[in-house]
Amino acid sequence: MSGKPGRSGPPSNLNSVKHKWNVFWRRRALKAEDRWILPVLESYLGALLSDKPDATETEKLVMQNAQTARGAVMLILAEAARSGFVRRIDASTWDLQPGSRELARFLTAERSALQALGMERRAKQVQTLAEWMADFERRKREQTPSDAEPEDGR
C-alpha cells in the first residue's frame, strides 16, 4: 500500500509522528469544514504551555484533555450557531439541541483539567500598610520636581 507524498506510510499510519494527537485531529477526527478549529486549539495549548513551561508529561496530557474539551465546546457552539440552541417539539414545548445539552459537561471537563494543572484563580498579593506608605511616598517624590536651591541676589 503506498502512502501520500509528504507523509510517512499509509494514510492511517501514525508511526514515527512527533505529535500524534495533532495528526489525529488533522487527519481523522475532524470533518473538512471543522478544521478551522485546529489553529485555535494549537494556540490554546501554546498558551497553557507558556504558563507552565516546565510541564511534566502527565501535565501535558492534562493540557491535551483541556484542549480537547475546549475543541468540543467550540464545535458545539459553532453547530449551535448554524442550527440554533433551541428546537421546537410542538407548538407549546421546546428543548435544547442535544449538543447544547452537552456543553456544560465539556466546560466542566475543561475547568477540571485546568484546576488539576493548578491554573485556578490566583489571589492577588496585597501590600502591607508600611509597603503601601513607602510606595506612596516614593511616587509622591517622583511626581514633584526637585526644588532648585534659591539664588540670593548677592
Residue 94, phi then psi, degrees to nearest 5: -145, 170
Assigned domain for 28 exists:
yes
Query: HSE-up of 135 (CA within 13 Å, CB side)?
Result: 7
Assigned domain for 35 exists:
yes
Q: What sign results for the dihedral spanned by CA atoms 63, 68, 69, 71? A: positive
Q: Which domain holds residue 37?
A: 20-121
Assigned domain for 91 exists:
yes
Assigned domain for 40 exists:
yes
Assigned domain for 90 exists:
yes
Across the range 41-50, mean pLDDT stands at 90
What's the number of domains the chain is made of?
Answer: 1
Q: Which residue has the higher pLDDT, 99 or 120?
A: 99
Assigned domain for 134 exists:
no
The residues, any chain, with a CB within 8 Å of residue 40's CB and separated by 6 or more, are 74
Average pLDDT, the chain: 80
Assigned domain for 75 exists:
yes
Across the range 62-79, mean pLDDT stands at 89
CA distances from 146 to 6, 139, 140, 150 (A): 68, 13, 11, 12
pTM of the model: 0.60
Helix (H) or strand (E) holding 87: strand 86-88
pLDDT for res 83: 79
Assigned domain for 13 exists:
no
- Percentage with pLDDT > 70 across the chain: 73
Over residues 1-35, the pLDDT tens digits come to: 555 666 556 666 666 666 666 677 776 677 888 88
Q: Which residue has the higher pLDDT, 9 or 57?
A: 57
pLDDT for res 32: 81
Across the range 93-114, mean pLDDT stands at 84
CA proximity to 42, closest of 67, 73, 77, 76: 67
Instruction: Using the predicted structure, report yes or no on whether residue 89 has a pLDDT greater than 90.
Output: no
Whether the Cβ atoms of residue 73 and residue 105 lie closer than 8 Å to each other: no
Across the range 94-123, mean pLDDT stands at 82
